[in-house]
Amino acid sequence: MFRLFGRRRHTKLRFRLIMVAYMAIGCIIPYYVMKQAEEEALIQQRLEDFDINNPQGYKRKAFFQDLFEDATLDQDSTTMLDNPAGLQPNYGALLPPQQPAIPAIGEHSTMKTAQNISEQHLETLDAFGFVYTKLRRVSRYGKVKSEQDYQEQVREAVDAAREFVLLRLPEESQFMGTQIPGTKLDSPEKARRFRQLMDEALNQGHWLYEPQRDYPDFGGAAEWNKKRRNERDRDLTIDRQPFPEAGKYRWVPAIENSTDPAFSQSAEPRGTRAKGWQVSRIQPEDFCRVLGPRHLILVGDYIHWQLHDSILYNMFDNPPTCYGDLACYLNIGHPLCPAPNDVRFKFVRNDQLSTIRPRNSRNETKSQNPVEMPWLRNLKYKDTIILGATHLNLRDRIFQRYLTDTVIKIRRARPDALIIYRNNPVGHPECPSKENAFNVDRSSRFPPRKMWYKCNDVNGTRIPCKPHWTGVSKKPRIPHNGTTFAAEPKPFTQDIPVAELLAYPLDWVHYDRQNQIAKTIIEASGGIYWNVATMTNMRPDGHIGGGDCLSYNRPGPTDEWAVSLYNLFLTIDLVEREHS
């Protein structure tokens, strides 16, 4: 019995070893053989596609196909290279110089010549790859030379967006200023009046400093800024815990020089306060009354999440815990207002405003960049969608296709939904940059640091050179003025001009152009184009620090977005009562 049991055990072991050997011979070895064959075929294809005797006749499309498309098809979204004649660039001049042909003397000489040519092939391919990368970067991020050229580019982009949205958007979803679904603004007169008041409130204005202005407690007196948590200084302006200077400003709109043609015929005196901005602080009870029974959903990136957080802190003394911009997705929504108003509020992180569907993976957002969370599920229960502009550097054609597809999906799922699109401010005007070209005046006042070497001889002994720095690389540190927070730059008196935007690095001027594209698409579908870029671009203070050029301190400029949204719904209620 024992011998039989032992034989069975050895038989099973032998069987398993045979199966492992079979798998190795039948699967693993053929895999490596096929991989080696593919690599050899790829090398052979490179040698066949390139002729060393004719560098200008290089015909592979892999390198220059996208570059030629940028130069011919995407004139509305990318800046062309400096080639006014529209000629094809001569890439042959960028190739390494041709080597003279080596005469073949015997078989050994022939093999050596082939080896030298293969090395030249690889060097030439590397040269082509470097040229392609450089020219593509110049083609995409190149600067427009003049303001007139930029305005022409904006007009072409807006016309292309209008044609595209009218072609793709169904006829039953095309409103073109006739009405605003989701509200009682169901006539062209009401829609025109509402947009006129919003332009007067948001397109022009200034920031007014109020020393005693404060916001609700953002998680404690110093929790919003962990660097100041251990400090015991108090704000000397009023007797309270430290409060940032960036939170002591409020937006005051003016209706001077309104861009709306209908305003020139109105009886409103110029310089008076706009009716589209009725209050400067959120009143929770009145906000609930104006919203009524609604289910709001905010869809956007991390910057848009600050609006969600600010609304909650203005509505509650102890707001619900959200655990970051990604964890809000796990909740069904915050109860913003009780019955009978019954307002619910939710945020979903989606950096591209894409119409992605749910996936099976639970941890997809931990490594996903950009983050795209599904939000179209159960959209029939959500009647107000507030979209936040994306901060990704997309081409105009891709941007308009994404946004149009999103609007079509919303109208298909909920035709009577109210769509609000928050436009995109540029990066922080005082954000530090290696190019030091964010602000022309700042660059002249604070030039970049330069390094020079100082070498001295002491008693005939040569001392090694030591580097010394001159100039400053950032704004000088302001002495402590008696409060915890030193004085910051003053807000601008007007929006950043186009001439200065063109000088900004990272091609941030495309935000302004894509805002105009988004306005055309949103208003064609009956949505509301919400302008917060003007007021935010005028705030050089409140920078969060580090390499983050998009976020602001809180309390700060982005908290005025919540007040602006409150005034937007108040303006809807005002126009509805005027025409009732």
Look up the CATH number of the domain holding residue 206. Answer: 3.40.50.1110
**What are the φ and ψ backbone dihedral angles of 427, each rounded to 5 degrees?**
-65, 170
For residues 272 and 253, give the distance between their C-alpha atoms in angstroms, rounded to a whole number. Answer: 9
pLDDT at res. 181: 92
Domain annotation covers residue 463: no
The number of distinct structural domains making up the chain is 1
pLDDT at res. 393: 78
In this structure, which amino acid lies at residue 272? T
- pLDDT in tens for each of the 580 residues of the chain? 445 455 566 777 888 888 888 877 777 777 777 777 777 776 665 555 444 444 444 333 333 333 333 333 344 444 333 343 333 444 444 344 444 444 444 555 555 555 555 666 666 666 656 555 555 544 444 456 678 888 888 999 999 999 999 999 888 888 887 889 989 998 999 999 999 999 989 988 889 988 777 655 444 333 444 444 443 344 444 455 566 777 888 899 876 444 444 444 444 444 445 677 888 888 888 999 998 888 999 998 888 888 888 888 888 776 566 656 665 645 567 788 888 888 888 888 888 888 877 665 554 444 467 788 888 877 878 889 999 987 777 888 889 999 999 999 999 988 999 999 999 888 776 565 434 334 433 433 344 444 455 555 555 555 556 555 444 444 433 332 333 344 567 888 888 888 888 877 667 788 889 999 999 999 999 999 999 999 998 888 877 766 677 788 778 888 899 999 999 999 999 999 887 7
For residues 443 and 435, give the distance between their C-alpha atoms in angstroms, rounded to a whole number. Answer: 10
Distance of CA 405 to the CA centre of its chain: 18
Domain annotation covers residue 140: no
For residues 545 and 549, give the distance between their C-alpha atoms in angstroms, rounded to a whole number. Answer: 8
User: Collapsing DSSP states into helix, strand and coil, what is residue 302?
Assistant: helix
pLDDT at res. 379: 81
User: Collapsing DSSP states into helix, strand and coil, what is residue 528?
Assistant: strand
Q: Are 570 and 279 in contact (CB under 8 A)?
A: yes
- Its domain, for residue 423, covers 148-432+494-578
Domain annotation covers residue 162: yes
Taking alpha carbons only, the member of 479, 478, 485, 477 closest to residue 240 is 485
Q: Radius of gyration over alpha carbons of the chain, in Å?
A: 31
For residues 282 and 563, give the distance between their C-alpha atoms in angstroms, rounded to a whole number. Answer: 6
User: Collapsing DSSP states into helix, strand and coil, what is residue 287?
Assistant: helix
For residues 163 and 152, give the distance between their C-alpha atoms in angstroms, rounded to a whole number. Answer: 17
User: Which residues, in sequence order, are CB contacts of 579 under 8 Å at separation 6+?
Assistant: 187, 189, 190, 193
pLDDT at res. 389: 83
For residues 555 and 314, give the distance between their C-alpha atoms in angstroms, rounded to a whole number. Answer: 11
For residues 283 and 261, give the distance between their C-alpha atoms in angstroms, rounded to a whole number. Answer: 33
pLDDT at res. 484: 36
Taking alpha carbons only, the member of 546, 487, 563, 493 closest to residue 245 is 487
pLDDT at res. 20: 82
Domain annotation covers residue 529: yes
Q: Are 223 and 174 in contact (CB under 8 A)?
A: no
pLDDT at res. 427: 78
pLDDT at res. 468: 52
Domain annotation covers residue 560: yes
In this structure, which amino acid lies at residue 235? D
pLDDT at res. 7: 58
Domain annotation covers residue 91: no
Distance of CA 241 to the CA centre of its chain: 34
User: Which residues, in sequence order, are CB contacts of 549 under 8 Å at separation 6+?
Assistant: 427, 428, 431
Taking alpha carbons only, the member of 210, 159, 85 closest to residue 491 is 210
Record the pTM.
Answer: 0.64
Domain annotation covers residue 470: no
Domain annotation covers residue 522: yes
Taking alpha carbons only, the member of 466, 389, 446 closest to residue 420 is 389
Q: Are 376 and 387 in contact (CB under 8 A)?
A: no
Q: Are 139 and 78 in contact (CB under 8 A)?
A: yes
Calculated CA dihedral for residues 319, 334, 410, 348, nearest 10 degrees: 60
User: Any idea what the Cα angle at residue 205 is, between residues 568 and 566, rounded to 5°?
Assistant: 20
